[in-house]
Amino acid sequence: MVNMPKPKKSPTSAPVMAATIEPKVSPKNSTTISPSRAPTISNTRAHKGELPETQKSLRELTELYPDFPFKVMLKIDVQRRGVIYTKAALEAVDPNIHMTTVSSDYYDKEDLSPVSLIMDDGTSIFTEGFLADTGLAPYTVDFDGHNRYLCDGDQILAKVWYWEKPDYYFKKTSRGTPMWKLVSARPQRLTIHPYQFCDFWKKAGCGCKFCVMAANFTSSRKEATVALDEILETVYEAVLEPGRNQSIFLTGGTIISGARPLDDELELYLTILKGISNLFGGRKFPSQLISTAFSLDQVKRLYYETGLTTYTADIEVLNQRLFDWICPGKSQLIGYEEWKNRLEAAVSVFGRGNVNTGLVAGVELAQPKGFKSEYDALEATLSEARKLCQRGVWVVGCVWRILTGSVFFRQKPPSLEYYVRLAKGLDSLRREYDFLPDQDNYRRCGNHPDTDLARI
């Protein structure tokens, strides 16, 4: 399988994407997208990296789950299998319009390939990052001179657009730092990574096994922390753009140190959130923090001293034994049961519906210690998610993208059907327990198939 290569560091180079292929789609021979019928999907082409026989194809699943939106299913599958851009698709990138650079918590993407995609229904597909070779053939993005298409082999499946760049992106702070390096953007959200490393990686064997923080941070030579004054300048500039942002999001790696564990992490977020709150006259503003699970006292400070409105502490996997194995740092510092207790305590501060937890959905099937059957994994995950809902904490899932540089880089992804059923299950729980999806909806985060389903 050809994966997106690690981007080159030269910002001045011409469009760079080593894994380009010649276009298979031309206006003459393409399957046209007709909104008057369901997309034609074929999995008959035997190409290298075809699905294992036990896994149902996208086409089969659209028939099996007719009430599951095709676009959301496609998004999931693209994230499982990855995507490559044809030469034509890369030449259709206009860096003055499209987002090509992005600063994540551990590296800066600086090549001229698109950061990610959006479909005609407003669903985002995250394509950034370096997928490991899982044996599944990637999708292709191609350009026919008018439109960009997502293709599987020679079949066109959907029109796609590249994410557009916000106004502030190429501006510089008063100290000359490009603003995109301080605050990154999604179509409707600003993202800040105040601490761009994670202390769990400082101790051998403590980082989460799906995480690529250590591998990429070391090679990227980023500063571990970013300057507050520059963040505030950038946030101010970014928020000026009409209609662009609906939420400000902060996250970063764990900082264990402090008078009490995690106090230094808390102080970092407090400082930034207080600064941003001032921009909004000290009022609450649409915002989300994903942090390590803070204690009740720490969470109270976040709520009462800043304008933060929603809180997330990602438990990653809903099983004690697997949490201990996959997230050893979190397990040793806080522990599985205490993590859940802290989430529940946060509900008493932020209010019901304003606290959730995220899963790297699928890691529960990592071997050798994970569930052996998808059925068991699904049952266990949804039953544990139900218990969290009963405690006032709702649950969102991301598709586990098996990344180069993670401990799990040799693992195999779960089937597409597993994700379809999990997304349906989490969406059903959210509806049953009457949680609004607003904190993590399709246009703020856009990385959760279950909250994509919440749109109708």
Partner 1 sequence: MTAIDLRQYPFVTAALNDPLTVKVLGLVTPTGEPHLAVKSSLKMSDSGGLKYDEIIETSRTNSLMLRALWFFEKVAVSLITTDGLGWLLKGRPERVVISGQEFRRHYEIARSNNPQHGLGAVWFIEIETVTETTLEKRRQEEEESHPLLIHLDRLLVNRPDGQVVKK
Answer with the entry of ligand SF4, partner 1, none that 69 interacts with (C-beta below 5 to 8 A by kind): partner 1
Q: What's the 3-state SS for 165-226?
A: CCCCCCCECCCCCEHHHCEEEECCEEEECCECCCHHHHCCCCCCCCCCHHHHHHHHCCCCEC
The rounded distance, in Å, linking the Cα atoms of 412 and 401 is: 10
Among 12, 14, 29, 35, binds partner 1 (CB under 8 A): 35
Q: Which is nearer to ligand SF4, 103 or 277 (CB)?
A: 103
Q: Which chain residues interact with ligand SF4 by CB under 6 A? A: 198, 200-201, 207-208, 211, 213, 253-254, 327, 329
Q: Which is nearer to ligand SF4, 151 or 355 (CB)?
A: 355
- In the block, tokens 């941003």 appear at 276
Amino acid identity of residue 361, one-letter, is A
Cβ-based neighbours of 211, under 8 Å, separated by 6 or more: 198, 406
Residue 318 and residue 385 in contact, taking contact as beta carbons nearer than 8 Å: yes
Answer with the entry of partner 1, ligand SF4, none that 207 interacts with (C-beta below 5 to 8 A by kind): ligand SF4
Nearest to 426 by CA among 402, 404, 403, 393: 393
Q: Which is nearer to partner 1, 7 or 286 (CB)?
A: 286
- Our measurement of the distance from residue 357's CA atom to the centroid of its chain's CA atoms, rounded to an integer in Å, reads 13
Q: Which is nearer to partner 1, 17 or 118 (CB)?
A: 118
Answer with the entry of ligand SF4, partner 1, none that 198 interacts with (C-beta below 5 to 8 A by kind): ligand SF4
Q: Which is nearer to ligand SF4, 62 or 381 (CB)?
A: 381
Give the shortest CB-114-to-ligand SF4 separation in angstroms: 25
Is 97 a binding residue for partner 1 by CB under 8 A? The answer is yes
Is 95 a binding residue for partner 1 by CB under 8 A? The answer is no
Is 371 a binding residue for partner 1 by CB under 8 A? The answer is no
Answer with the entry of ligand SF4, partner 1, none that 200 interacts with (C-beta below 5 to 8 A by kind): ligand SF4
Region of residue 114 (phi > 0: left; psi between -120 and 50: alpha; otherwise: beta): beta
Is 368 a binding residue for partner 1 by CB under 8 A? The answer is no
Among 56, 59, 71, 448, binds partner 1 (CB under 8 A): 71
Q: Which stretch binds partner 1 (CB under 8 A): 132-140, 161-169, 221-229, 361-369?
A: 161-169
Q: Which is nearer to partner 1, 64 or 97 (CB)?
A: 97
User: How many amino acids of this chain bind partner 1 (CB under 8 A)?
Assistant: 25
Backbone φ and ψ of 397, nearest 5°: -120, 145
Among 60, 91, 121, 264, binds partner 1 (CB under 8 A): 121
Report the side by side order of strands in the sheet with 189-192: 183-186, 189-192, 247-251, 287-290, 310-312, 355-361, 394-399
The rounded distance, in Å, linking the Cα atoms of 214 and 197 is: 7
Q: Which stretch binds partner 1 (CB under 8 A): 53-61, 137-145, 160-168, 369-377?
A: 160-168
Beta strands in 8-135 (DSSP E): 83-85, 102-103, 108-109, 116-119, 124-126
Is 243 a binding residue for partner 1 by CB under 8 A? The answer is yes
Region of residue 363 (phi > 0: left; psi between -120 and 50: alpha; otherwise: beta): alpha
Answer with the entry of partner 1, ligand SF4, none that 164 interacts with (C-beta below 5 to 8 A by kind): partner 1
Backbone φ and ψ of 157, nearest 5°: -110, -30
Residue 286 and residue 245 in contact, taking contact as beta carbons nearer than 8 Å: no
Answer with the entry of partner 1, ligand SF4, none that 118 interacts with (C-beta below 5 to 8 A by kind): partner 1
Q: Which is nearer to partner 1, 246 or 404 (CB)?
A: 246
* Interacting residue ranges for partner 1, rule: CB under 8 A: 35-38, 69-71, 97, 118, 120-122, 159, 161, 163-164, 187-188, 241-244, 443, 455-456
